[in-house]
């Protein structure tokens, strides 16, 4: 295949993504022995883990594999395709959730879905820098969304509402992980414990804010109520529960409506 070639079948996907679905035969042999799409993706993931997503380029991956840059284009046509395949490899399939008959309602299952996403993102922080350019198209990403939609079956929500709920929850997970990653990077760059950074910010805030102009911030600085020291999961747990509270209100309004199915959450 030539550089930039795209699939011409019904999916409209690049050839490399169709191969991830098993819809395309893999090349019988590459331009050099031992080169494969799996090796290319593994090398790119390794570079991203060590250097961040900014370190990944077709030339850098080729150098890591001891191959020419042009030889990589036999397997993946562009860097944006490589990003999709890297994310697919790091994401993996969603872990199984407890079945409703085991006593887990939609809320508990959706919470576990969110926590599982967070674990993946925190294990592969470079994924947070991959541009979101469209809906999920790779096998694992589609499997995660399928699982989320199944969690919401029986809640009385319309399919479009279920999709919007998953967008809301996954967006919260992504944003929390991104902020946390940026803060952790700043703490690491300063070379001091996170507790000292938090305490230093509280002191700075206390000196800057004027009780008359900033009464709410003054009270916050005085009480030391900025997060929960010693519990790195506090903000995520608190925020996720509030998001689920809002979804619960919506679900209950649907299940009270005549002609709607009963929820099991």
Residues 6+ apart with CB under 8 A from 147: 94, 97, 113
**CB count in 10 Å sphere of residue 135:** 9
Q: Flag whether 2 is in a domain.
A: no
Same domain, 132 and 68: no
- Show the domain range for 228: 100-255
The answer to the question of residue 242 being in a domain is yes
| SS3 at position 6 | coil
Q: Which residue has the tokens 């925020």?
A: 239
Same domain, 134 and 48: no
Torsions phi, psi for 258 (to 5 deg): -60, 140
Rounded Cα distance between 224 and 203, Å, is 10
Mean pLDDT of 73-88: 93
Same domain, 109 and 150: yes
- What CATH number corresponds to the domain at position 116? 1.10.357.10
Asked if 122 and 70 sit in the same domain, the reply is no
What pLDDT is attached to residue 49? 95
Residue appearing with tokens 């690049």 = 14
* Local confidence band at 228 (pLDDT 50, 70, 90 cut-offs): low
* pLDDT surpassing 60 at residue 231: yes
Q: Is the pLDDT of residue 28 over 90?
A: no
Domain presence at residue 4: no
Give the number of domains in the chain: 2
Residues 78 and 206 in one domain: no
Which CATH number is 42's domain given?
1.10.10.60
**Whole-angstrom distance, CA of residue 155 vs CA of residue 149:** 10
Question: What number is the average pLDDT over the span 98-115?
Answer: 81
Q: What is the mean pLDDT of the chain?
A: 84
Q: Which residue has the higher pLDDT, 230 or 127?
A: 127
In this structure, what is the dihedral angle of CA atoms 218, 219, 223, 226, given to the nearest 10 degrees? -70
Rounded Cα distance between 85 and 241, Å, is 32
The residue out of 74, 91, 108 marking a domain boundary is 91
DSSP 132-192: --SS--SHHHHHHHHHHHHHTTTS---HHHHHHHHHHHHHHHHHHHHHHHHHHHHHHHHTS
Q: Does 206 share its domain with 246?
A: yes
**What is residue 262's predicted lDDT score, i.e. its pLDDT?**
39
| pLDDT tens track for 234-264 | 889 999 999 999 999 999 998 775 544 434 4
In tens, the pLDDT along 151-207 reads 999 899 999 999 999 999 999 999 999 988 887 777 777 777 766 767 777 778 778
* CA 91 to mean position of chain CA atoms: 8
What is the pTM for the complete model shown?
0.82
Percent of residues, the chain, with pLDDT higher than 70: 83
Contacts of range 163-168, beta carbons closer than 8 Å, 24 or more positions apart: 165/110, 165/247, 165/250, 168/243, 168/247
What is the predicted pLDDT for the residue at 243?
Answer: 98
Say if 1 falls within a structural domain: no
Give 185's contacts (C-beta < 8 A, 6+ positions apart). none
The pLDDT, as a whole number, for residue 220 is 80
* Distance separating alpha carbons of residues 41 and 45, to the nearest angstrom: 6
Q: Which residue has the higher pLDDT, 51 or 227?
A: 51
Instruction: Kindly state whether residues 137 and 228 are assigned to the same domain.
Output: yes
pLDDT for 58: 96
Residues 6+ apart with CB under 8 A from 61: 40, 43, 44, 47, 72, 82
pLDDT confidence bin for 104, thresholds 50/70/90: low
More confident residue, 19 or 48: 48
| Residue percentage of the chain with pLDDT more than 90 | 54
Least confident of 42-56, 76-90, 99-113, 128-142: 99-113
| Mean pLDDT within 117-126 | 95
């Amino acid at each position: 295949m030539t550089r930039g070639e795209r699939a011409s079948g019904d999916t409209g996907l690049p050839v490399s993504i169709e191969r991830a679905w098993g819809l395309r035969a893999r090349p019988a042999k590459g331009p050099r022995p031992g080169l494969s799409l799996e090796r290319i993706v593994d090398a790119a993931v390794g570079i991203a883990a060590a250097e961040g997503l900014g370190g990944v380029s077709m030339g850098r991956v080729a150098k890591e594999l001891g191959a020419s840059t042009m030889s990589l284009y036999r397997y993946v046509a562009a860097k944006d395709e490589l990003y999709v395949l890297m994310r697919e490899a790091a994401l993996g399939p969603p872990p199984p959730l407890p079945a409703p008959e085991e006593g887990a309602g939609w809320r508990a299952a959706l919470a576990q879905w969110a926590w599982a996403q967070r674990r993946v993102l925190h294990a592969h922080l470079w994924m947070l820098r991959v541009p979101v350019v469209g809906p999920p198209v790779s096998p694992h990403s589609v499997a995660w969304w399928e699982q989320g939609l199944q969690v919401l079956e029986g809640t009385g929500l319309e399919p479009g509402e279920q999709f919007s709920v998953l967008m809301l929850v996954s967006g919260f997970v992504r944003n929390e992980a991104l902020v946390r990653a940026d803060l952790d990077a700043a703490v690491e760059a300063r070379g001091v414990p996170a507790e000292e950074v938090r305490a230093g910010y509280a002191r700075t805030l206390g000196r800057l804010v004027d009780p008359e102009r900033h009464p709410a911030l003054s009270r916050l600085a005085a009480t030391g109520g900025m997060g929960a020291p010693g519990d790195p999961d506090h903000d995520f747990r608190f925020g996720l529960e509030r998001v689920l509270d809002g979804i619960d209100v919506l679900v209950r309004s649907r299940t009270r409506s005549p002609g709607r199915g009963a929820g099991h959450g």
